[in-house]
Structure formats: structure tokens, C-alpha cells
Amino acid sequence: MTDSDQRGPRLRGVPELWDVARGVAIVLIPVIAALSVVSLQISVPTRVWLSAVAVGGLIGFLVIWRHYGILASLRQWLRSRTDGAEPERAPSTRDPIHDLSDGPGTTSDLASEITRLFQRLEERRNDVVSKLVTQEQVLESLPAPVLILDERGRVEQANAAAQRALGDVAVGREVSTVLRHPDVLEAVDAVREDETRTEVEIALMGQTMLVRVERVPRGDDQPPGAVLLLEDLTEIRRVGQMRVDFVANVSHELRTPLTTLIGFIETLRGPAKDDSDARERFLEVMDVQSRRMARLVNDLLSLSQIETKEHKPPSEIVPLAEVIEEVVTTLEIEAHRKRMRIQVEMDTELPQIVGDTDQLSQIVQNLLENAVKYGGADTTVEIAVAVDEDPPPAYPARDQVAIGLSVSDRGEGIGREHLPRLTERFYRVDTDRSRALGGTGLGLAIVKHIVSRHRGSLSVESSVGVGSTFTVHLPSTRTVM
Ligand code: ADP
């Protein structure tokens, strides 16, 4: 590649002949004037006259042709840029008429400086444009809605998230028509007057939004604009409220047995000190209450352990038949007490389940415990395990064959209105009854979390006075054909 190729196409402007002729005339006028003055003193032969004019004219022509040529090249180059014609290659560090340079202070030197200045301005412009493009891309990709307002409080820019959150936000709209909230408008006014930044919390279309308003200076004499950044606090507030409710519920659950224990301890130390009958009765109640607290603490611990593991998929091959058998054995004594029978029906050719054995055991334990607790005396509780070709829509692992595990009882059943809330922590249909039966109100919440970790689903069918069936669908290792 030659040097001139690297610099880009060379521009060679051709000067206007009329300009050159005028220049030559300007050069010749002093020559002719000088000769005229000299010829007044001494006679100058015509030959000398003509030769002097010809030599002067030629020199003038060459010099002027060259200078006008440089100026014409410069004009042509500048015009090619200002007319919007893109240069064929990136601006070179050397200007296109560099080779014409005669040295400092000459026309070509001046032309070189002008082209260099122009090129530097072009580079700066390209930098600014690319920065603006990057900023625009960043703004567009932000998940939070952002509005940029001009100095008159009209929308200058609204990113994609703002369009989604606030509807169609056209450029040029007054902010008051986009966010009709007096607190927001007040904050925008405050920022445009003297505040640097401010924030307000507002309710917007059923959501809690934090609106941060920031002042954007626009040159010395211009009034400032503003940037509005919206943050959706709905989920944070909901989780915060859940935490407060949870702590209140736990305290409430612990307070009753604790108060009972403290009361009985005081009585045993005082009035019933020497009453052995009362001591036996009180110790019995204290035993029940402390066990209740222990169960509550155990359930709370299980729940928190399950939550920590919730996003880590389980990896053991679970021996489901053994797990069910073990749980049934532990609950048989309680079932016998109510003259209940526990019947297990399980397909022999079940595909394998990858899961957490302890957690799946806990699911069976909680569901069976409830069935025994809330099922009627002299009835049968049925556990059925089989492949379900048609799992409910809530079952998420659609590409894996589902195994349905259901626990049915003939008991009091549950009213339809309670069904959607059964898996909430501490939700009970009948709180006193649940407590009397030793319930903590956390059993089904634990089941729900374990099922979700296993990518399964939980469903309930129940009729008041008839009984309930709780079914868990878990993905097996077999894929759906
Ligand atoms: P609890 O410790 O109170 O049993 P759970 O979370 O296990 O807590 O169950 C929540 C509520 O759902 C229970 O208090 C009870 O009212 C109702 N429930 C659960 N299983 C059954 C069932 N098999 N039959 C009737 N009601 C049930």
C-alpha cells in the first residue's frame, strides 16, 4: 500500500482561471508602474520592457496558480465534509493537502492547520456521538423506568421500562400528564428551583413506587432539566410486611404455652407446693405445652432449612416405598388410638424419583399426620402412589413423567374458601382445634416449600363432612414421550 493510499484520496482543487488572471494582473501592476517610472528617467528598450513584463507575469502566474490551487483544494475538501459526504476512510492524522506544504507561514501551512482543526473537531464529534449512543443503550436497557425532562418539564426521553410502566409516553408530553401525582409534580418543581435531588413514595396503579427526582444542569443561563427514576417497592414492602406478620405470629404462638408454663411453675412453688395431685396434673399440662413449643421450634427450623436449600435442586435417588413404610410405622400408634387404618397402594413399576429423602419423608409425615389428626375415628386413611399421565396444570416439570402421591381421609373436610390459603404459615381453618390436636399451623407451608424445591405441585380436593385428599405430584427420572 502506498503512502497516499494510507492517507485517503488526495484532493487536488483546480483554481479558477479568472482568479489567477486577476492575481497575475495585481502582480504585474507594480512591475509595470516601476518600469514606467524608470522609463521616465532613462529610455528602456521595448525588448527589455516586454521581457520584464513576461518574466514578472510568469513568476506571478506560477506563484498565484499554486496558492489558488491550495485554496481550491482546501475549499473542495471542506465542502466534501460540510455537504455531509462521509470521508472514504477515517480521518488521517495527516491532512489531504499536506504534501503541498511549503513550510510555516505559507498558504499551504494555513490550509493544513485548518484541515487538521476540522479533523480534530470531527474526531471529537464522533466521540461525543458514540458516548451518546452508549448512554442511550444503557438507559434503554435499565430495568427501572427512567424519564428525562427538559427545562420546561416536558418529556425529552423515556426508556423502554418507562413505556411499559406508564403506558405510551410520547416525547414532548408534560410530566403532569404522564405521572399525575401532586407529590411527584411538587418534587419536580423543587428540583427545578433549588433542590439537587429529592424522592417521594407514591401509590401508582396498585403498586408502591419510589420516585427519585434529580436535577440536570443545562449550561450557565439555561433553567435545569430533571431525571425521574422509578423504583417498584411493592415486593419489598410485601416481604417486609410478611416478616412483621411472621414475627408477630411466632411470638403469639409461643406466648400462650410460655405463659402457661410460668403460671404453673409459680403455682407449684407457691400454693400447690405440697399438693401432689395438683403437681401431677400441672406437670402433665406443662409437658403438653413444652412439647408444643418444641414442635413449633422444630417446624420453624425445618422451614428455614428448606428455604435455604430451596434453589438447590436435590440429587438423591429416593427409595419412596421405604420412606412411606417408615412414616406409616411411626404414625400407626396414633392411628390405632383413633381406631383408624392406614392403607398403602403403590404401583410396583414406578419410575425413580430424584429428590431429598429426608424432605420427601417430611412431606409424607405432614400429610399423613394431618389425615390422622383431622380424619374421623374408625375410618381408613389411604395413601396412593402411581404414575399420573395427566398431572394438574400447576405441575411445572412438563417434560418429566409425574408421580402422584395422594393422602385421603374421611374426616371433617375443608370449606372451599379456605383451600387457597391452607399453605400460608400459621393459617388454620379452626385455630383452637388445630392447637388442641398439637398442630403448629406450619405443616402444609413446609410441604409447599419442599414440593417447590422438587419442581412438583400440591393440590387439595375436599368436601366438608366427607373428607380431603392432598396430592403431591413429583417429577420422575422418566421423560415424557
Ligand atoms: P396444623 O399444624 O394446624 O395441622 P397445617 O399447616 O398442617 O397446620 O394445616 C393447616 C390447616 O389446614 C389445619 O389447621 C387444618 O385446619 C387444615 N387441614 C390440614 N389438613 C387437613 C385435613 N386432612 N383435613 C381437614 N383439615 C385439614
Could you report the per-residue pLDDT of 35-84, keeping only the tens digit for each?
888 888 888 788 888 888 888 888 888 888 888 888 888 788 777 777 76
Q: What's the pLDDT score for residue 12?
A: 61
The predicted model gives 433-457 an average pLDDT of 94
* Rounded CA separation 61/70 (Å): 14
| Pocket perturbation via mutation, ligand 1, pick of 365, 368, 374 by most ligand atoms within 8 A of CB | 374
pLDDT averaged over every residue in the chain: 88
477 versus 1: which is more confidently predicted? 477
Q: What's the pLDDT score for residue 269?
A: 92
Q: Which residues pair with 210 in a beta bridge?
A: 201, 231
Is the model's pLDDT at 100 over the cut of 60? Answer: no
Q: What's the pLDDT score for residue 103?
A: 55
The predicted model gives 339-345 an average pLDDT of 97
Label residue 451 by pLDDT band (50, 70, 90).
Answer: very high
Please give the DSSP secondary-structure letter assigned to residue 87.
Answer: P
Is the model's pLDDT at 331 over the cut of 70? Answer: yes
Q: Residue 27: which residues within 8 A CB-CB, separation 6 or more?
A: 56, 57, 59, 60, 63, 64
Q: What's the pLDDT score for residue 94?
A: 45
Label residue 7 by pLDDT band (50, 70, 90).
Answer: very low
Q: Which of 139-148, 188-197, 458-467 has the lowest mean pLDDT?
A: 188-197
Q: What's the pLDDT score for residue 95?
A: 46
CA distances from 171 to 177, 214, 230 (A): 12, 19, 18
Q: Which atom of ligand 1 is nearest to the CA of 374?
A: 24
Q: What is the pLDDT of residues 232-266, one digit of tens each?
A: 999 999 999 999 999 999 999 999 899 999 999 99
Label residue 341 by pLDDT band (50, 70, 90).
Answer: very high
* Rounded CA separation 325/16 (Å): 107
Q: What's the pLDDT score for residue 205?
A: 83
The predicted model gives 192-221 an average pLDDT of 89
63 C-alpha to ligand 1 centroid (Å): 106
Q: Count of CB atoms within 10 A of residue 174's CB?
A: 13
Is the model's pLDDT at 88 over the cut of 50? Answer: no
CB crowding 279-298: b at 16 or more within 10 Å, else e: eeebeeebeebeebbeebee
275 C-alpha to ligand 1 centroid (Å): 38
The DSSP H or E segment spanning 477 is: strand 467-479
Q: What's the pLDDT score for residue 464?
A: 95
436 C-alpha to ligand 1 centroid (Å): 12
358 C-alpha to ligand 1 centroid (Å): 21
* Rounded CA separation 194/45 (Å): 87
Q: Which atom of ligand 1 is nearest to the CA of 371?
A: 23
Q: What's the pLDDT score for residue 13?
A: 67
Name the grid cell of 35: 518600469
Longest dimension (CA), the chain: 161
* Rounded CA separation 77/29 (Å): 33
- Dihedral sign for Cα atoms in the order 83, 85, 91, 95: negative
Q: What are phi and psi of 387, to 5 degrees?
A: -70, 135
**What is the DSSP secondary-structure string of 134-153?**
HHHHHHHH-SS-EEEE-TTS
The predicted model gives 299-315 an average pLDDT of 92
* Rounded CA separation 50/56 (Å): 10
Is the model's pLDDT at 360 over the cut of 60? Answer: yes
The DSSP H or E segment spanning 182 is: helix 182-193
Give the percent of the chain with pLDDT over 90.
61
79 versus 437: which is more confidently predicted? 437
Q: Which residue's CA lies nearest to atom 19 of ligand 1? A: 370
Using CB distances shorter than 6 Å, the residues near ligand 1 are 366, 370-371, 374, 409, 411-412, 414, 422, 428-430, 434, 439-445, 468
Q: What are phi and psi of 184, to 5 degrees?
A: -70, -45
